[in-house]
Amino acid sequence: MMDVSYWLPVIWAVILVAAISIYVILDGFDLGIGMLFALERDRGCRDVMINTIAPVWDGNETWMVLGGAVLYGVFPGAYATLLPAFYMPIVVMLLALIFRGVAFEFRILTRDTPRERLWEGGFMAGSALAAFCQGVIVGGVVQGVRVVDGAFAGNALDWLTPFSILCGVAVMCGYALLGATWLVWRTTGGLEAACRRWAGWLAIGLFVGIVAVSAWTPLLHAPYLRRWTDWPNIALVAPVPVLVVVLGIVLARALRRGRTRAPFACALGWFGLCLSGLGITLWPYAVPPGLTVWDVSSPPSSQFFQLVGTAIMLPIILAYTIHSYRVFRGKVTETDGYH
């Protein structure tokens, strides 16, 4: 029978993946809305776009903090290896998120002044840059990190490759799709119709990105290829690409038939399948292609201590997140306001 030193890192890996997945879903659509500002010039429509996320956007960052805390406290070996490997994109992402948050508020405070356009541009640029950096980091992790004796042995720009750039662009497209389908659900009239059109084109772009990344990933390392092609693995993982195609068809039909909630649900489903595929590819590596979750984990006593605190706090975080979204549910119009 396997002991606690085996199962605790597995439990924590599930918690970490859950935190990252919730962050991607929740912060993804509001970063996407920031990028969609570039397509919508009308001030009233921009106000509506902002008002759909204004009550909840800052709470979404909680899940990023939780993911970082888990990485630092439970997988210190991964934290110490990955952080120097991705210093540049991580710092740029954090600065973009900070500047985006400032622009979010100052856009209102500088209303009807020349600086309003500056802050709107900052909101767009911060959203796009943060999304791109997140995709680049994911791509950099997937392609692997050079490690010698458990420590990062590469250089500051190892993460910058055609594959990581492709991942960055795909994440930007995916977040923009989440934002567009969110607005289809939460807005009305001309803005909803425009978002429906944008979602159609963004869905095509994301599908192409998924296909390109999925075809490239197994060629990066032999274990990745075996995970997807060896028998009986192939029988277990085959539903993932099939479901991607099925959800794409459902999404296209939902957009054409005027559905409001279904497009957002399909976009979430695509992200869920992509994250599932990523998990299938990487497991059990915490730092591909050499360090597993057991290699980089903290002592079992430390993991158990943190698990007790997480068991208390996680339901509280989930409860207030669900409550906030429930309170501010429904369609938003130009007569509604948050500030």
Q: Quick check: is 336 in a domain?
A: no
Q: Quick check: is 332 in a domain?
A: no
pTM: 0.91
C-alpha atoms less than 13 angstroms from C-alpha of 67 in its C-beta half-sphere: 15
Burial-class residue 49 by CB neighbours within 10 Å (0-12, 13-18, 19+).
buried
Q: Quick check: is 113 in a domain?
A: yes
Q: What is the pLDDT of residue 334?
A: 65
Q: Quick check: is 339 in a domain?
A: no
Average the pLDDT over 272-282 and give the result: 87
Q: What is the pLDDT of residue 1?
A: 44
Question: Angle 251-173-179 (CA atoms, 0-180°, nearest 5)?
Answer: 65
Tens digit of each residue's pLDDT (9 = 90 or more) over 284-301: 888 888 888 888 888 888
C-alpha atoms less than 13 angstroms from C-alpha of 184 in its C-beta half-sphere: 29
Sign of the CA dihedral running 120, 174, 264, 141: negative
Number of structural domains the chain divides into: 1
% the chain with pLDDT above 90: 29
Range of the domain at 291: 4-326
Q: Quick check: is 168 in a domain?
A: yes
Q: Quick check: is 334 in a domain?
A: no
Q: Quick check: is 333 in a domain?
A: no
Q: Quick check: is 204 in a domain?
A: yes
Mean pLDDT of the chain: 86
